[in-house]
Amino acid sequence: MNHIFSPIGEGWPSFPRRSYGKLDQSEPIAPKGASVAVFCFDVVDADWPGFGDGGLFDLGSVTPLKIDHAKYWQGLFKHYPIVGPDPYDQLPIYRVEITASPGDAWFDLLVAITENEWVTIELEDSGYFEVDVFWWVARRSRNRIEGCSESYT
């Protein structure tokens, strides 16, 4: 089981400095015009070695990666047993929650992000805009956002 779903235990050792992810939800659902809104992103650590050459999610070999993962998901839905370790157990998944109000540095950018867009989020220990990072069910870190920019769609 992936560390983020563990109700007890260590979770991941720390928060990701740079992550890729997608907007999972916002509260309220339509945040434009709200006095305060929470933007929730499901992200993965962009610097995880598993994305490199020969890694479980080698981004340099996209076609074989798509084929392997299509077979993996088809097998799960057909109730075929997984051969070898589950590749998703090692994937460093996090949840980043950003609370913002109109006039805050990132509010207009956050409101414009859709659930179909990939974003890059960069975090630092200190800064001027606080965010919450969850790396397992009961573990949380308060960090500062350094940058939040659209990466690609």
Contact 41, 99 (CB under 8 A): no
Residue 42, φ and ψ in degrees, nearest 5: -95, 125
Rounded Cα distance, 74 and 62, in Å = 18
Please state whether beta strands 37-45 and 93-100 pair in parallel, antiparallel, or not at all (unpaired): antiparallel
Rounded Cα distance, 1 and 20, in Å = 21
* Residue 16 confidence class, pLDDT cut points 50, 70, 90: confident
Q: Which residue has the tokens 């308060």?
A: 142
Rounded Cα distance, 10 and 4, in Å = 9
Q: How big is the CA angle at 69 (ends 93 and 133), to the nearest 5 degrees?
A: 5
Tell me which H or E stretch contains 119: strand 118-124
Supply the pLDDT for residue 108: 94
Rg (CA), the chain: 17
Total Cβ atoms within 10 A of residue 103: 7
Q: In terms of pLDDT, which residue wins out, 147 or 3? A: 3
What's the predicted TM-score (pTM) here? 0.75
pLDDT tens per residue, range 64-122: 888 888 888 888 888 877 777 777 888 888 889 999 999 998 899 999 999 999 999 99
Q: How much is the mean pLDDT over the chain?
A: 80
Residue 130, φ and ψ in degrees, nearest 5: -85, 140
Cα separation values, 31 from 40, 74, 98, 108, Å: 12, 37, 12, 10
